Amino acid sequence: MLAEDFLAAIAKADRADAPSMSARRFVELILRAWPFIRPMLKHIVTLLAISAASAVFIVVLWAVASDLLMNKVLVGDRLQPLQAVLLGAGEEYVTTEVADEDPMTVEQRRIVRDRLLIWFGVGGLVFLGGLATLPYYGTWIRHNINQSLRVAMIERAEHLSLKYHSHARVGDAVFRVYQDSAMIVNLLEEALVGPVTVVFWMTLALFLLFFLSPEVAVAVVAVGIPVVWLTVKYTPRIRRRARENRMANSDLTSRLQESFAAIKVVKANRAEARILERFDADSHRALNAAFYLRLEIVLLSAIAMTAGGAVAIAAEYVLAGWVIEDRETYLGAAVAALIGYTVWNLGAFNYARDQVEEVRGNGFWLIRLWCMVQDLFIGLERAFFLLDLEPDIVDGDDPSAFPVPLHSVACRDVHFSYELPDASTLPVLQGVDLVARAGSVTAIVGATGSGKSTLMSMILRLYDPERGRVAFNDIDIRDLRVDDIRANTAIALQKNVLFAGTVADNIGYAADGKTLAEVEAAAKVACADEFILGLDKGYKTELGERGGKLSTGQRQRLSIARAVLRDTPILILDEPTASLDAVTERQLLANLGEWGKDKVVFLITHRLSTIRDADQIAFLEDGRIVEIGPHDELMARPNGRYRGFVEAETVGLQAAG
Amino acid sequence: MSETTPLEAPGNQSRREERAERLRYDDRIDLDTKVSSRQAAVLMGRSLKLLAQARGLFAAKFAFSFGFMASALLLPWIGKIITDNVLLQEPFGETDVPYPPFMQPLVVFVDGMAPMEIMLVVAALLMLMLLVFGTRSGSFEEVGLFEGADAATQGENAISAGGSGAGGLWGVAEYMVHVRLTQRLANTLRTRLFARLTHLPMTTLDDQRIGDSIYRVLYDTPQVPGICYQLTIEPALTLIWGAVNLYLIQYTYSDVAPELVWIAWSAFPLAFIVTFPASALVRRTNQAKRAAGAATTNAIEETMDNVYAVQSLGGMRRDAERFAERSRESFLRERFALAVGIALLVVVLGLMVVAAIYITLLVTDQIIEGVMSPGDFFVIFGLIWGILETATDIGSFWIKLQGPVAAVRRVFFFMDYPVDEDRVHGPRLGPISQGIEFRDVAFSYPDGRRTLSAVNLELKMGEVVAIVGPTGSGKTSLAYLVPAFLQATAGRVLVDGRDLADVDLDSLRSQVAYVFQEHVLLSASIRDNLLLAKPDARDDEVLRALEGAACMDFVGELPDGIDTVLGQSGDTLSVGQQQRLCIARGLIRDTRVLILDEPTAALDPKTENELLEALRSGAKDRLIIVIAHRLSTIRNADRIVFLEDGRIRDVGDHDSLMEKAGGPYRRFVALQGG
């Protein structure tokens, strides 16, 4: 993905209108998420099956038990035949279907009650058993799904080209990998199965209600129509709010990250109060976004709930009238075998009312779910946006093997420009030609901003040239595997990036399977051994945040040791000795010369003493190599660019000598 | 590092131990995480103090909750009327059970009406309650969004999910108040914590991981509103609700069921006794899950912030693996905490199920024997259930607070951590006019590394001083003492004769500009990067500073000039250009003291000399301290301070130092010149 596309995508996402979320996009996102959910499918199905089974058990138990409790135990009616079977009660308990039969005796009611309570106990055990195991099982499933998505996102983000990263904020990546990705855990169970189960229970309740009273069932359905219409109208507003909520919280995370990454500068400039002000402003923006998003949901719910509640109360009024009239229920005698609801009575009234409540409660929950799903999809959209960015540095179709042994590294007419955030470009390399051979040291010299580090990035294939090519043994590096290129190139960076961890970890970063002895040997080459042993735990000393406890010169030497340890055919040292004193520097260069005898070594530096010993010196100016050759040869050129540079450096030093 | 390297694996067990240590090591400052029950109580008390920031909202929330509760009292009695007097068509006063006083107006009003007339009145009343309180229509208890399965992703809901037990108009209003209340509490705490973290001493910040700071500020603070709510409104409402129910039971069923009340109340001590021994376990598992979450955040943050290095060094796979390990550990710790929570919940609910069955047994006995009417079952069961819930709630009140306490401890740990400003309440420093003096100064890091010993030195205003010495000789430590980024562990640093330890830090640092070796730029425009140092700088000041640091040649070429927005950490510029911008940022404040820490990489010798010349002539009474290796820079300084092993070996100007035969500086120069 090119930077322009990325910027266009950002601009599109920033447009004020609601993000469109067509049914097709929904399906696409679900399909996109499917590979992460698939491995857990077996467990999800198991979990849902167990949950459904225990729910059905409890619902059926309650349907029968409510009749038993109210009509039989409390009032004294005789049992339906099946009820008697369930309770293990004899003939004498069963209704004779005669109009004026005697109620159960007090003793019989007690026995029915006792046995009913045993069933309650069983129901309680099922409930508690499920409660103890199912949430843990469900969480385990969610964690596994989320883990695989998070890791995939991090891998993708690490492989995205630097073009992407120079425009993206660290905090945004944190937010996407963390917060946005978490939405996937709810996709299957909550966003898909959730509404389905809710609709199922709603339909079941409507169905049961229908057998008691079709009129009430129709009324309940009728009130749903305007509520659905309203919800549809409301949806774009909720999406807009949900997106703003996520963007605001992502920005807050970025603000926090950037504040702490720059904390030294902040403190040096007494800017603490100012960054606090900005943090507070960002924090308020995030809180407001959260507030207004939920307020939309609350208002929509309030309207829907009031409408539903009004119908329920009206239904109760009508049903009360029917109970008083002893009116026959719609199904009447057909259900008499199991439940005594042939006519409207106390039990039937309560049962019907419960069904209305069930429909209404589920309807309410469905609206809530709908709103939550909008936010969920906005989150997933943001997570997959990152995952769907294509790294523009990718392996070719049929990559060649890395050339062994490596004889030469060559740049042929290499052109490159940086793209700035406003989509304009900044030309850096404008036709670089350079050949470096194994066993030689090439010093790259030039003013700041002349493109020295960028040229090295081309050799690592961190960027592809716009024109021209970089070749190893005459093989265009675009025909090699990216991993092979970087595995065969070691670089000591100008920005001495250290990672949290021990000294040994940092030297061993990206060099697999090295022994402690090898780590120590590399440290010796880099003149780092001595100071490392002087640390309180030697090679096991924990470094501070970004290696904060070490001086720049010490960090520099760890970077070099890291490059040396990897023992690759190409070695790049980007300003390796800028912060070293002359003694250490001399020692280090001597060590490197000995160690790197058969390697292609690139050296970027300002230090004359370092440059002088190089086999060839490439002088870079305005994105081109204007002079190339050994020190003495270049110094012999009258008015040579390199000679001018050397003279400026040594000005006034003669007196010092 | 591969799994099999001898580095990690002399033996399986020690490897595991080391790995465990490493995981714990992500916290390098906050190591003693145990909390006793007494400390937990103290932390709760401190959380409560935040309520002072939101008195009005708090009072409003309390009033709303109380009002709704009053409305909820009517509901069971309305149910009784529908059952007994409408459906079963019994006249009022048939059973021994009297209606409570607050129902009397309604009872008197409908007494003697036909059942359907009563139903009409009741339905009208219910409609009114529906509109106002959302009675029986559901509530806005929690308007949560979907959240993930770990604490970090649950914070947003904890702050903003709000709630009201009511629905309807009342519910909407109460909901708004509630969300604003919890947001106010969380925001107060997180901005305070943020401020506190930015004020940590430099040495502490070296150890404080950025991801951990993000975690504490954004994901630990959301637990505070919950604690405040659970300590105030919730128990108050629970107790009031319990008392009202108790009164109703006494009033209406005193002869019928006194033992029921006692049975229900016994859930209170039972729940407490059963759960209390687990409180330390809950705190520990919650602390572990949060520490593991912070480690995960560290891993993402570090990888993303250093992606250039990660890619250059080919560390993508290694970093992804490290992240995966952290994330897996974090999820595992989440599940440990969850398992403990579930176990406790099951125990408590088990108690309730047993109690409910027993209550049903007793109540149905009364009904079967004709002492109570069938309608009474629902009322009395509802009331007793209410007491039972109350009793269990109060009984598990302590245990429910332990998880949030673990999070709040992590917040207050840094609120209590000593910062620079705690030390200084001294008088403000006037414009520095004489200079800076070091008297017998020594400095050691908290971990014992000694970087400076017995430093005696006087720096006068108007001088350009070069600090020179081998790598690791203490140059930066010495310079850090000037703006009090570090505090001398022995001896005194005096500014104009006043001990730095006694002066107001702000008045000191506002007069010292420090340009660091590491160039840190914000992903903002060039102008904004300079305005960070001086927010009210005019354009011409910005341009002058840029010119002074030799930035104009490349800034002028950028399409938007000083308004060009830099990429993440300034990536679009070369390192040298970035460092020049940092120098410009040091210049714009035009401070009395300017410290340049190794500007060599940024400036070619010519530019550097021009810069120093310009600074020197521009303000003669300024003090400029340059840490440098480059001879051309050093020799132009008025004085050279040569450091070795943390001690000053030589002080003087270039010529006089060069005259000392065998002097350390001369030796140094000889090697440098090569």
Is the pLDDT score of B330 beyond 80? yes
- Report residue B17's pLDDT band, with 50, 70 and 90 as the boundaries: low
Mean pLDDT, to the nearest integer, of B188-207? Answer: 90
Sheet containing B512-515: order of strands: B512-515, B593-597, B623-627, B464-468, B639-644, B647-652
Who contacts A490 (Cβ-Cβ below 8 Å, separation ≥6)?
A562, A563, A564, A566, A567, A568, A570, A571, A572, B313
Mean pLDDT, to the nearest integer, of A599-627? Answer: 87
Share of chain B above pLDDT 70, in %: 92
Who contacts B37 (Cβ-Cβ below 8 Å, separation ≥6)?
B279, B280
- Report residue A301's pLDDT band, with 50, 70 and 90 as the boundaries: very high
Is the pLDDT score of A137 beyond 90? yes
Which pLDDT score is estimated for B571?
62
Comparing A583-592, B46-55, B216-225, B253-262, the range with the smallest average pLDDT is B253-262
Which residues in chain B touch residue A119, judged by CB atoms under 8 angstroms apart? none
Report how far residue A204's alpha carbon sits from residue A217's, in angstroms, rounded to the nearest whole number.
Answer: 11
- Report residue A655's pLDDT band, with 50, 70 and 90 as the boundaries: very low
Which pLDDT score is estimated for A5?
46
Report how far residue B383's alpha carbon sits from residue B381's, in angstroms, rounded to the nearest whole number.
Answer: 5
> B225 is written with which tokens?
């509103």
Report the amino acid identity of residue B29: I
Q: Which residue has the higher pLDDT, B367 or A14?
A: B367
Which residues in chain A touch residue B175, judged by CB atoms under 8 angstroms apart? 294-295, 298
- Report residue A606's pLDDT band, with 50, 70 and 90 as the boundaries: confident
- Phi then psi for B464, rounded to 5 degrees? -110, 115
3-class SS string, B427-484: CCCCCCCCEEEEEEEEEECCCCCEEEEEEEEEEECCCEEEEECCCCCCHHHHHHHCCC
Which residues, numbered 49 to 68 in chain B, qualify as contacts with chain A under a Cβ-Cβ cut-off of 8 Å? none
Alpha-carbon distances, residue A196 vs A193, A200, A625, B147, B474 (angstroms) = 5, 6, 68, 20, 68
Crossing angle of helices B267-275/B316-368, nearest 10°?
160
Q: Do residue A493 and residue B309 have CB atoms under 8 angstroms apart?
A: yes
CB contact B304 to A (< 8 Å)? yes
Angle at B244 between CA B243 and CA B248, to 5 degrees: 115
Calculate how close chain A gets to B38, using CA atoms only, in Å: 30
pLDDT, one tens digit per residue, over A46-88 is 998 998 888 888 888 888 888 888 888 888 888 888 888 888 8
Which residues, numbered 401 to 440 in chain B, qualify as contacts with chain A under a Cβ-Cβ cut-off of 8 Å? none
Which three-class secondary structure state does DSSP give residue B1? coil
Total Cβ atoms within 10 A of residue B76: 17
Nearest alpha carbon to residue B347 among B267, B444, B431, B442: B267
- Report residue B20's pLDDT band, with 50, 70 and 90 as the boundaries: low
Which pLDDT score is estimated for B70?
85
Substitution target in B313, B467, B585, B655 with the highest count of A β-carbons within 10 Å is: B313
Which pLDDT score is estimated for B602?
61
Which pLDDT score is estimated for B95?
62
Radius of gyration of chain B (CA): 35
Who contacts A482 (Cβ-Cβ below 8 Å, separation ≥6)?
A393, A394, A395, A461
> B575 is written with which tokens?
């390192």
Substitution target in B471, B606, B611 with the highest count of A β-carbons within 10 Å is: B471
Mean pLDDT, to the nearest integer, of A110-133? Answer: 89
Report how far residue B126's alpha carbon sits from residue A185's, in angstroms, rounded to the nearest whole number.
Answer: 40
pLDDT, one tens digit per residue, over B333-389 is 999 999 999 999 999 999 888 888 888 888 888 888 887 777 777 777 777 887 888
Q: Do residue B509 and residue A267 have CB atoms under 8 angstroms apart?
A: yes
Which pLDDT score is estimated for A602?
93
Is the pLDDT score of A497 beyond 90? no
Calculate how close chain B gets to A542, using CA atoms only, in Å: 8
| Cβ-contact B488, B443 below 8 angstroms | yes
- Phi then psi for B306, rounded to 5 degrees? -115, 30
Alpha-carbon distances, residue B574 vs A335, A459, B601, B602 (angstroms) = 84, 17, 11, 9
Which pLDDT score is estimated for B8?
40
Instruction: Name the pairing type of β-strands A616-621 and A600-604.
Output: unpaired
Which pLDDT score is estimated for B94?
64
pLDDT, one tens digit per residue, over A229-253 is 999 988 999 999 999 999 999 999 9
Instruction: Name the pairing type of β-strands A570-574 and A489-492.
Output: parallel
Which residues in chain A touch residue B183, judged by CB atoms under 8 angstroms apart? 287, 290-291
CB contact A162 to B (< 8 Å)? yes
Total Cβ atoms within 10 A of residue B157: 18
List the beta bridge partners of residue B468.
B642
Residue A325, burial from CB neighbour count under 10 angstroms (0-12, 13-18, 19+): exposed
Which pLDDT score is estimated for B123?
94
- Phi then psi for A441, rounded to 5 degrees? -110, 125
Give, for B575, the enclosing helix (H) or strand (E). Answer: helix B575-588
| Cβ-contact A459, A572 below 8 angstroms | yes
Share of chain B above pLDDT 90, in %: 38
Which pLDDT score is estimated for B674?
45
Comparing A485-499, A513-527, B176-190, B320-334, the range with the smallest average pLDDT is A485-499
Is the pLDDT score of B479 beyond 90? yes
- Report residue B601's pLDDT band, with 50, 70 and 90 as the boundaries: low
Which residues in chain B touch residue A310, judged by CB atoms under 8 angstroms apart? 127, 130
Q: Average model confidence (pLDDT) for chain B?
A: 85
- Report residue B5's pLDDT band, with 50, 70 and 90 as the boundaries: very low
Q: The tokens 């760890």 sit on which residue?
A: A558
| Cβ-contact A283, B187 below 8 angstroms | yes
Mean pLDDT, to the nearest integer, of B520-527? Answer: 82
Q: Do residue B598 and residue A579 have CB atoms under 8 angstroms apart?
A: yes
pLDDT, one tens digit per residue, over B488-499 is 999 999 999 999
Is the pLDDT score of A313 beyond 60? yes
Local structure of residue B638 (DSSP, 8 states): S
Q: Which residue has the higher pLDDT, B310 or A230?
A: A230
Is the pLDDT score of B1 beyond 60? no
> B646 is written with which tokens?
């943390």
Is the pLDDT score of A13 beyond 50? no
> B46 is written with which tokens?
């401190």
pLDDT, one tens digit per residue, over B411-436 is 999 999 988 766 656 788 889 989 99
Which pLDDT score is estimated for A152?
94
Angle at B592 between CA B587 and CA B596, to 5 degrees: 50
| Cβ-contact B369, B356 below 8 angstroms | no
Write out the DSSP string of A11-77.
HHHHSSSPPP--HHHHHHHHHHHHHHHGGGHHHHHHHHHHHHHHHHHHHHHHHHHHHIIIIIIIT-P
Q: The tokens 């009660």 sit on which residue?
A: A89
Q: Give how far the C-alpha of residue B619 lies from the chain's centroid of Cα atoms, to the nearest Å.
A: 44
Q: Do residue B137 and residue A308 have CB atoms under 8 angstroms apart?
A: yes
Q: The tokens 């970093």 sit on which residue?
A: B319
Calculate how close chain B gets to A192, using CA atoms only, in Å: 13
Is the pLDDT score of B396 beyond 80? yes
Of A294, A447, A551, the CB nearest to B162: A294
Nearest alpha carbon to residue A236 among A356, A117, A371: A371
Q: Do residue A486 and residue B312 have CB atoms under 8 angstroms apart?
A: yes
- Report residue A118's pLDDT band, with 50, 70 and 90 as the boundaries: very high
Which pLDDT score is estimated for B24?
62
Alpha-carbon distances, residue B302 vs A6, A158, A492 (angstroms) = 23, 11, 18
